[in-house]
């Protein structure tokens, strides 16, 4: 199965699982690097597309700056709300701001002997630092609001 480069707004608005927080990956000096993430390859990419990305091609499902990986509990919540890998969504933060992102990857299931939960992991594509809201709380999510006046 591979991400379809979804366009949203497929899903409904929902609350983030308890304990949800912003984390970051793919930035320079990331303490938890993995070869696929470094190359821009997420969990939902076909073998054919993996080969194309590794060959240097910029494909539709290559992970880009600001894209999102989530832990299994968050993935379950997103799927229940009607979102699929590749979809755009809006992630809402505790400070009242939000960010539009594409759901393109998933985090490790277990890290350091503990189940990984509540992770909204933003890809930093070789940036110097973590996401500006790293460690902050995620309160919810929803479809991307269309621009312009309602029709």
pLDDT, residue 9, reads: 47
Q: How far apart are CA 30 and CA 6, in angstroms?
A: 28
Across the 151 residues of the chain, what is the mean pLDDT of every consecutive 10-residue run? Answer: 43 86 91 85 94 94 95 96 95 95 95 94 91 96 75 55
pLDDT of residue 148: 57
pTM: 0.86
Report pLDDT for 33: 80
CB contact at 8 A, 101 and 66: yes
Q: Is the Cβ–Cβ distance between 3 and 61 less than 8 Å?
A: yes
Give the per-residue pLDDT at 7: 43
Compute how many other C-beta atoms are within 10 angstroms of the C-beta atom of residue 68: 26
């Amino acid at each position: 199965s591979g991400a379809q480069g979804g366009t949203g707004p497929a899903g409904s608005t929902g609350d983030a699982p308890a304990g949800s927080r912003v984390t970051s990956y793919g930035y320079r000096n990331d303490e938890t690097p993995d070869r696929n993430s470094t190359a821009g390859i997420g969990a939902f990419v076909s073998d054919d597309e993996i080969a194309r990305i590794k060959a240097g091609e910029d494909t539709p499902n290559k992970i880009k700056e600001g894209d999102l990986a989530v832990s299994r509990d968050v993935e379950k919540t997103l799927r229940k709300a009607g979102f699929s890998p590749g979809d755009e969504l809006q992630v809402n933060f505790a400070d009242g701001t939000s960010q539009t992102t594409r759901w393109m990857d998933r985090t490790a299931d277990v890290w350091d002997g503990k189940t990984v939960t509540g992770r909204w992991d933003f890809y930093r594509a070789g940036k110097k630092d973590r996401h500006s809201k790293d460690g902050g709380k995620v309160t919810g999510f929803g479809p991307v609001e269309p621009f312009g006046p309602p029709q």
